[in-house]
Amino acid sequence: MLTAAMAAIGGVAALGSAIYGGIKSAKANNKARDLVQQQRRDNKAWYNVRMAQDYTQRADVQAAIKRQRELLNEQYQRARATNVVAGGTDEALALQQQAANKSLSDTMTDVAAQGAAYKDNVEQQYRAQDAALNQQQAQSYQQQAAQAAQAASQGVNAGMGLMGNALGSNLNKTKA
């Protein structure tokens, strides 16, 4: 009788332990899922900011354009001074100005191409991070499923142990 009671207590403890483990596991998985969701929101916010950003307004791009304009302006001023001293024509100055405008236009075309490449890079980074987060979430779901199966198995085993002990106890009583 004492053995049956000890076995029943052990079975109840095993069942309680399985339930407690399942609850703790579920809470941990919920925290992990919440963390992944927060990372996903942060990644999306980062992506939205970068994609909405006007690449030409970045400080490094503005500095490059400013330097280009200053160089072209200096070249034009030298050509103008040379034109005055050497007696050049207005047509030569116009050609110099036209060349400067073309150079600036080429610079802006390059900046636009760099901007497109930058946005492509942002999209690639976003997609890579999103894929990593999806993988993390899938692993979390797989782990949660395995833990749920383990908890259910432990619960069934504990329940079967309790039933076996109860049946064994009843058999011992009927034999006596």
Per-residue pLDDT of the chain in tens (176 residues, 90 and over written 9): 666 666 667 666 776 777 777 787 778 888 888 888 999 999 999 999 999 999 999 999 999 999 999 999 998 898 888 888 888 788 888 888 899 999 999 999 999 999 999 999 999 999 999 999 988 888 888 887 787 777 777 766 766 666 665 556 555 555 55
Q: State how far the Cα of 133 lies from the Cα of 37, in Å rounded to an integer.
A: 8
Report the pLDDT value the prediction gives residue 59, as an integer from 0 to 100.
Answer: 94
pLDDT of residue 3: 67
Output the six-digit token pair for 80: 């103008």
Closest CA to 7 of 125, 171, 167: 167
Taking the alpha carbons at both ends of the chain, their separation in whole angstroms is 12
pLDDT at 44: 95
pLDDT at 169: 56
Diameter of the chain by CA atoms?
133
Helix H, strand E, coil C: the string for 96-110 is: HHHHHHHHHHHHHHH
DSSP label of 62:
H
The whole-model pTM stands at 0.61
